[in-house]
Amino acid sequence: QAFFEKFKSYLLQQVKLTNTTLDRYIRSFKTFMNWCVEREYTENVKFKKFKTKGEKAKVIYLNREELMKLYKLDLSNNKTYEKVRDVFCFGCFTGQRFSDIQQLKREDIKEGKWHLRTQKTKDIIEIPLTTPALLILDKYRNDKKPLPTMTNQRTNLYLKEACKLAKIDDAIIKVRYRGAERIEMNEPKHNLITTHTARKTFVTVSMDLGMTNPEIMAITGHK
């Protein structure tokens, strides 16, 4: 317990982690320790009593107006931004993880549907493709890959710039805690957009359009 308190204090005060990130670190540490116990590297199981609690993160998503503004934005003068925008919007129109979009093959598209075995859960999902999604695929029909994906890191970097050009700049207030200290950050929305925002956008826009939870879950694979 003394180690835990010192480690927690170090992460909060020296490394300047928030409570949410601290919680993730401790859970990773406990996973490693369980691995050690299973292999009989140690018999010390005091770590099982280590408890932390993160805060619920604010959900960042694009509303319908923002999504279509980004989708229709003329980025022909910057092909990199255009490709990143197209891949992101395809995610918004299908609700799938970026890792699955990276693995998309043309033979997975049959009769206007994407037949997908997800990488994370290995579920088989049938995703009906809307007209905008099909138009994005058609745009790259002569390319080697169905979609011009790049690394997640580069995509997130260029995506923020594309969203900035689309003037997706509403002020977003994010509240974090470091111990009992409240940390408030005010940032333009485009700074907070990542590849994972696409999945959240699909869910939110679909609900706004009247889809039921079971219908959405059948497409996204959420349990």
The confidence score (pLDDT) of residue 35 equals 97
Handedness of CA 106, 113, 95, 168 (dihedral sign): positive
The confidence score (pLDDT) of residue 5 equals 93
List pLDDT tens digits, range 182-223: 888 889 999 999 999 999 999 999 999 999 999 999 888 887
> Residues 73, 40: contact at Cβ < 8 Å?
no
Q: Which residues of the chain have pLDDT under 50?
A: none
Q: How far apart are CA 62 and CA 208, in angstroms?
A: 12
Closest CA to 133 of 80, 88, 94: 94
Tell me the CB-side half-sphere exposure of residue 218, using CA atoms within 13 A.
8
The confidence score (pLDDT) of residue 194 equals 96
Closest CA to 147 of 190, 205, 94: 94
DSSP letter (8 states) at residue 123: -
Q: How far apart are CA 203 and CA 191, in angstroms?
A: 21
**What residue has token string 């939110």?**
204
The confidence score (pLDDT) of residue 122 equals 73
